[in-house]
Amino acid sequence: MPCSLAWAGNDDPVSTCVVLADSPIQTVEDLEGKTVAFADQASSSGYFMPVHMLHEAGLEQGVDYEGIFAGGHEGSFVALQQGQVDAACTAIMLTQLGAPMFPFADGEWRAVGESASMPVSGTILARQSLDDETRTLLEEALPRVFSEANAEALGALGAGFIGQETIIAPEQDLFQGFVDIAAVAGVKLEDLR
Protein backbone atom coordinates (compact mmCIF):
# COMPACT_ATOMS: atom_id res chain seq x y z
CA MET A 1 0.00 0.00 0.00
CA PRO A 2 1.60 3.33 -1.02
CA CYS A 3 1.91 6.23 1.39
CA SER A 4 -0.57 8.93 0.59
CA LEU A 5 -1.87 11.90 2.47
CA ALA A 6 -4.26 14.59 1.47
CA TRP A 7 -5.27 17.86 3.04
CA ALA A 8 -8.93 18.74 2.75
CA GLY A 9 -9.80 21.81 0.74
CA ASN A 10 -12.13 24.57 1.81
CA ASP A 11 -14.98 26.44 0.15
CA ASP A 12 -12.78 29.30 -1.07
CA PRO A 13 -12.39 29.83 -4.83
CA VAL A 14 -8.97 28.76 -6.12
CA SER A 15 -8.41 30.79 -9.28
CA THR A 16 -9.28 33.99 -11.03
CA CYS A 17 -8.49 35.65 -14.31
CA VAL A 18 -6.91 39.08 -13.98
CA VAL A 19 -6.98 41.99 -16.40
CA LEU A 20 -5.29 45.37 -16.36
CA ALA A 21 -7.28 48.05 -14.57
CA ASP A 22 -8.12 49.93 -17.78
CA SER A 23 -9.35 46.82 -19.62
CA PRO A 24 -12.91 46.91 -20.97
CA ILE A 25 -13.33 43.30 -19.75
CA GLN A 26 -15.65 43.25 -16.75
CA THR A 27 -16.89 39.65 -16.51
CA VAL A 28 -15.73 36.15 -17.42
CA GLU A 29 -18.20 36.20 -20.30
CA ASP A 30 -16.38 39.24 -21.72
CA LEU A 31 -13.41 36.95 -22.44
CA GLU A 32 -15.24 35.66 -25.51
CA GLY A 33 -13.08 36.35 -28.55
CA LYS A 34 -10.09 37.25 -26.36
CA THR A 35 -6.68 35.70 -25.68
CA VAL A 36 -6.16 34.24 -22.22
CA ALA A 37 -2.82 33.24 -20.67
CA PHE A 38 -2.60 30.10 -18.55
CA ALA A 39 0.40 29.07 -16.45
CA ASP A 40 0.96 25.57 -17.89
CA GLN A 41 -0.95 22.40 -18.74
CA ALA A 42 -0.22 20.78 -15.37
CA SER A 43 -1.32 23.67 -13.15
CA SER A 44 -4.55 23.23 -11.23
CA SER A 45 -4.80 26.92 -10.25
CA GLY A 46 -3.28 28.27 -13.46
CA TYR A 47 -5.11 26.02 -15.94
CA PHE A 48 -7.62 23.37 -14.82
CA MET A 49 -9.66 25.58 -12.48
CA PRO A 50 -9.74 28.66 -14.76
CA VAL A 51 -10.67 26.57 -17.84
CA HIS A 52 -13.48 25.04 -15.80
CA MET A 53 -14.58 28.54 -14.71
CA LEU A 54 -14.67 29.68 -18.35
CA HIS A 55 -16.53 26.48 -19.31
CA GLU A 56 -19.12 27.16 -16.61
CA ALA A 57 -19.58 30.64 -18.15
CA GLY A 58 -20.29 29.00 -21.53
CA LEU A 59 -16.88 29.60 -23.08
CA GLU A 60 -14.83 26.79 -24.63
CA GLN A 61 -11.11 27.05 -25.29
CA GLY A 62 -10.22 27.14 -28.98
CA VAL A 63 -13.82 27.98 -29.90
CA ASP A 64 -14.83 31.00 -27.82
CA TYR A 65 -11.38 32.22 -26.73
CA GLU A 66 -7.73 31.53 -27.50
CA GLY A 67 -5.67 30.05 -24.69
CA ILE A 68 -1.89 30.24 -24.56
CA PHE A 69 0.53 28.61 -22.14
CA ALA A 70 3.01 31.08 -20.69
CA GLY A 71 5.31 28.56 -18.99
CA GLY A 72 4.22 29.47 -15.47
CA HIS A 73 2.23 32.02 -13.50
CA GLU A 74 5.03 34.57 -13.84
CA GLY A 75 5.03 34.20 -17.63
CA SER A 76 1.30 34.82 -17.80
CA PHE A 77 1.74 38.03 -15.79
CA VAL A 78 4.49 39.21 -18.15
CA ALA A 79 2.28 38.45 -21.18
CA LEU A 80 -0.49 40.55 -19.62
CA GLN A 81 1.89 43.41 -18.75
CA GLN A 82 3.22 43.44 -22.33
CA GLY A 83 -0.25 43.42 -23.89
CA GLN A 84 0.22 40.01 -25.52
CA VAL A 85 -2.95 38.67 -23.88
CA ASP A 86 -6.21 40.13 -22.65
CA ALA A 87 -6.24 38.24 -19.34
CA ALA A 88 -4.01 36.02 -17.23
CA CYS A 89 -5.51 33.24 -15.14
CA THR A 90 -3.82 32.44 -11.86
CA ALA A 91 -4.21 31.36 -8.26
CA ILE A 92 -6.12 33.78 -6.06
CA MET A 93 -3.45 33.08 -3.44
CA LEU A 94 -0.81 34.70 -5.69
CA THR A 95 -2.87 37.88 -6.05
CA GLN A 96 -3.09 38.03 -2.26
CA LEU A 97 0.65 37.49 -1.75
CA GLY A 98 1.55 40.51 -3.86
CA ALA A 99 5.10 41.28 -4.95
CA PRO A 100 7.29 39.55 -5.91
CA MET A 101 4.85 36.67 -6.54
CA PHE A 102 2.25 38.95 -8.16
CA PRO A 103 3.79 41.95 -9.98
CA PHE A 104 0.77 44.26 -10.08
CA ALA A 105 0.14 46.92 -7.43
CA ASP A 106 -3.33 47.73 -6.14
CA GLY A 107 -5.14 49.80 -8.73
CA GLU A 108 -3.19 48.31 -11.66
CA TRP A 109 -5.34 45.19 -12.06
CA ARG A 110 -8.80 43.72 -11.51
CA ALA A 111 -10.04 40.18 -10.95
CA VAL A 112 -12.57 38.83 -13.43
CA GLY A 113 -14.52 35.93 -11.99
CA GLU A 114 -13.65 33.24 -9.47
CA SER A 115 -13.33 29.51 -9.97
CA ALA A 116 -14.90 26.78 -7.92
CA SER A 117 -13.18 25.54 -4.77
CA MET A 118 -11.13 22.34 -4.69
CA PRO A 119 -12.03 19.37 -2.48
CA VAL A 120 -8.33 18.78 -1.77
CA SER A 121 -5.78 21.51 -1.10
CA GLY A 122 -2.83 19.19 -1.64
CA THR A 123 -1.61 15.65 -1.54
CA ILE A 124 1.62 13.73 -1.10
CA LEU A 125 2.14 10.40 -2.80
CA ALA A 126 5.08 8.05 -2.32
CA ARG A 127 6.25 5.16 -4.44
CA GLN A 128 4.15 2.01 -4.22
CA SER A 129 7.15 -0.10 -3.15
CA LEU A 130 7.68 1.96 0.03
CA ASP A 131 8.12 -0.32 3.05
CA ASP A 132 5.47 -0.24 5.81
CA GLU A 133 7.78 1.26 8.45
CA THR A 134 8.79 4.22 6.27
CA ARG A 135 5.20 4.73 5.12
CA THR A 136 4.00 4.89 8.72
CA LEU A 137 6.79 7.32 9.67
CA LEU A 138 5.87 9.65 6.79
CA GLU A 139 2.16 9.49 7.57
CA GLU A 140 2.91 10.50 11.17
CA ALA A 141 5.61 13.11 10.44
CA LEU A 142 4.24 15.04 7.46
CA PRO A 143 1.13 16.38 9.24
CA ARG A 144 3.46 17.69 11.98
CA VAL A 145 5.60 19.47 9.38
CA PHE A 146 2.55 21.24 7.93
CA SER A 147 1.39 22.58 11.29
CA GLU A 148 0.88 25.95 12.94
CA ALA A 149 4.24 25.54 14.70
CA ASN A 150 5.97 25.70 11.31
CA ALA A 151 3.73 28.31 9.67
CA GLU A 152 6.32 31.09 9.67
CA ALA A 153 9.10 28.86 8.29
CA LEU A 154 6.86 27.41 5.57
CA GLY A 155 5.36 30.75 4.57
CA ALA A 156 3.18 30.49 1.47
CA LEU A 157 4.12 26.82 1.03
CA GLY A 158 2.11 25.92 4.09
CA ALA A 159 -0.85 28.21 3.44
CA GLY A 160 -3.06 25.61 1.79
CA PHE A 161 -2.27 22.88 4.31
CA ILE A 162 -1.95 24.36 7.78
CA GLY A 163 -5.22 24.17 9.63
CA GLN A 164 -6.78 21.83 7.08
CA GLU A 165 -7.87 18.31 7.96
CA THR A 166 -5.21 15.71 7.15
CA ILE A 167 -6.59 12.60 5.45
CA ILE A 168 -4.33 9.54 5.60
CA ALA A 169 -4.81 7.05 2.76
CA PRO A 170 -7.69 8.97 1.15
CA GLU A 171 -10.26 7.09 -0.90
CA GLN A 172 -10.11 7.57 -4.65
CA ASP A 173 -13.54 9.25 -4.79
CA LEU A 174 -12.10 12.26 -2.90
CA PHE A 175 -10.30 13.15 -6.15
CA GLN A 176 -13.30 12.76 -8.49
CA GLY A 177 -13.80 16.54 -8.64
CA PHE A 178 -10.28 16.89 -10.08
CA VAL A 179 -11.00 14.20 -12.64
CA ASP A 180 -14.17 16.00 -13.75
CA ILE A 181 -12.49 19.43 -13.91
CA ALA A 182 -9.45 18.06 -15.76
CA ALA A 183 -11.77 16.45 -18.33
CA VAL A 184 -13.10 19.92 -19.19
CA ALA A 185 -9.48 20.91 -19.92
CA GLY A 186 -9.09 17.83 -22.14
CA VAL A 187 -6.96 15.85 -19.69
CA LYS A 188 -7.92 12.33 -18.62
CA LEU A 189 -6.34 11.91 -15.21
CA GLU A 190 -7.43 8.29 -14.95
CA ASP A 191 -5.02 7.55 -17.84
CA LEU A 192 -2.03 8.83 -15.84
CA ARG A 193 0.15 6.17 -14.25
pLDDT of residue 129: 87
- The mean pLDDT values, 10 residues at a time, for the chain of 193 residues are 76 93 97 97 90 96 96 96 97 87 94 90 83 89 90 80 86 82 76 52
Torsion of CA 20, 26, 28, 29, to 10 degrees: -130
CATH entry 3.40.190.10 includes domain 15-112: yes
pLDDT of residue 154: 85
Q: Where are the beta strands (DSSP E) in the chain?
A: 4-8, 15-20, 35-38, 66-69, 87-91, 109-112, 120-125, 166-168
CA separation for the pair 101, 8 (Å, rounded)? 24
Q: Which pLDDT tens digit goes with each residue over 50-62?
A: 999 999 999 999 9
pLDDT of residue 193: 47
Torsion of CA 87, 93, 98, 100, to 10 degrees: -90
Q: Which pLDDT tens digit goes with each residue over 42-85?
A: 888 899 999 999 999 999 999 999 999 999 999 999 999 999 99
8 A C-beta contact, residue 10 and residue 17 = no
- The identity of residue 2, as a single letter, is P
DSSP 131-152: -HHHHHHHHHHHHHHSSGGGHH
Hey, how many other C-beta atoms are within 10 angstroms of the C-beta on 67?
17
DSSP lists the bridge partners of residue 122 as: 7
pLDDT of residue 60: 95
Enumerate the domain spans of the chain: 4-9+118-191, 15-112
Hey, how many other C-beta atoms are within 10 angstroms of the C-beta on 127?
9
pLDDT of residue 164: 86
Hey, how many other C-beta atoms are within 10 angstroms of the C-beta on 93?
16
Nearest Cα to Cα of residue 68 among 44, 91, 89, 95: 89
Helix and strand numbers, DSSP H then E, in the chain: 6, 8
